[in-house]
Copies of this chain bind each other. A is one copy, B any other.
């Protein structure tokens, strides 16, 4: 099976589960359900859940067993986008070529839909762990994966990075400050996708260490690529308004180091990630996924 087919198969599997894990709601809170589903179904590459599933498989884990965690991480990513787009935050009217959540459902419902997705991620994992109570080794791996995900999505990860990003608006920040933002705002959740997959697949310490470096590199490369595309990407292709960093006077990797140096950095990070994967058998899918991440249009 070629990469494209494998990727789409995983993507479709994730997407069919995203909806099935949502709580069924009474008609009295139907808007909440609609708002959550709208953003979950708004497309996207599903990179985080696919990274989780692919790492889990590579480490020898079962895909169905990892699915609630893959969906949880997509719920978390989606909630963060809904809240980021709010007028009080980035004030973005479009996301993935469609009106942002609050443009359709209003701000109150968008805030609650974000809260609801984060809470549903936790709920889903609590239910999943509960249903595997008899299988102690599996439970242990699941608890490690859950801890990994919710630490990365929290104050010492994504939320803290988002706060630091807001605090930095309109200021010229240091390289160290920018790295802190990148490490937490974007990279933490990408690293958690890979590390949670590794825990679920039962990876040993040495492998976990290598996969951690692999995921840190792709996380940083991912953020720098986003910043490059915000300057010189194709608005139609990307389905979102560009130039948002300049509008918000944000310090970015390109604004500190220049476009060319940023492109070189992305290549170097990917190269190192490739070398890590190259030490192992069975990494063809992950290697092709890495190549796909590199080819995001610049």
Contact = CB atoms under 8 A, between A and B. Distances in A.
A31 B163 contact: yes
Chain A binding surface SS class? helix
Contacts of A242: none
Contacts of A86: 111
A115 B118 contact: yes
A267 interface: no
Given A26-B180, A89-B111, A107-B88, A146 B164 contact: no
A127 B144 CA distance: 9
A228 interface: no
Given A29-B163, A133-B140, A23 B156 contact: yes
Interface in A148-168: 150-151, 153-156, 159-164, 166-167
B108 A88 contact: yes
Contacts of A123: 147, 150-151, 154
Contact of A143 (B22, B126, B181): B126
Nearest to A32: B163
Contacts of A139: 139
A156 B143 CA distance: 24
A277 to B, nearest CB: 29
A129 to B, nearest CB: 6
Given A123-B151, A126-B143, A155-B33, A162 B112 contact: yes
A132 to B, nearest CB: 10
Nearest to A119: B154
Contacts of A144: 130
A177 interface: yes
A198 interface: no
A31 to B, nearest CB: 6
Given A120-B154, A151-B123, A177-B28, A112 B163 contact: yes
A114 interface: yes
Contacts of A116: 154-155, 159-160
A224 interface: no
A200 interface: no
Interface of A: 22-23, 25-26, 28-29, 31-33, 36, 79, 83, 86, 88-89, 106-109, 111-112, 114-116, 118-120, 122-123, 126-127, 129-130, 133, 136, 139-140, 143-144, 146-147, 150-151, 153-156, 159-164, 166-167, 177, 180-181, 184
30 contacts: A23-B156, A25-B160, A26-B160, A26-B164, A28-B180, A29-B155, A29-B160, A31-B167, A32-B163, A83-B112, A108-B166, A109-B163, A112-B163, A114-B115, A115-B118, A116-B155, A116-B159, A116-B160, A119-B154, A119-B155, A120-B154, A122-B122, A122-B150, A122-B154, A123-B151, A126-B146, A126-B147, A126-B150, A127-B147, A139-B139
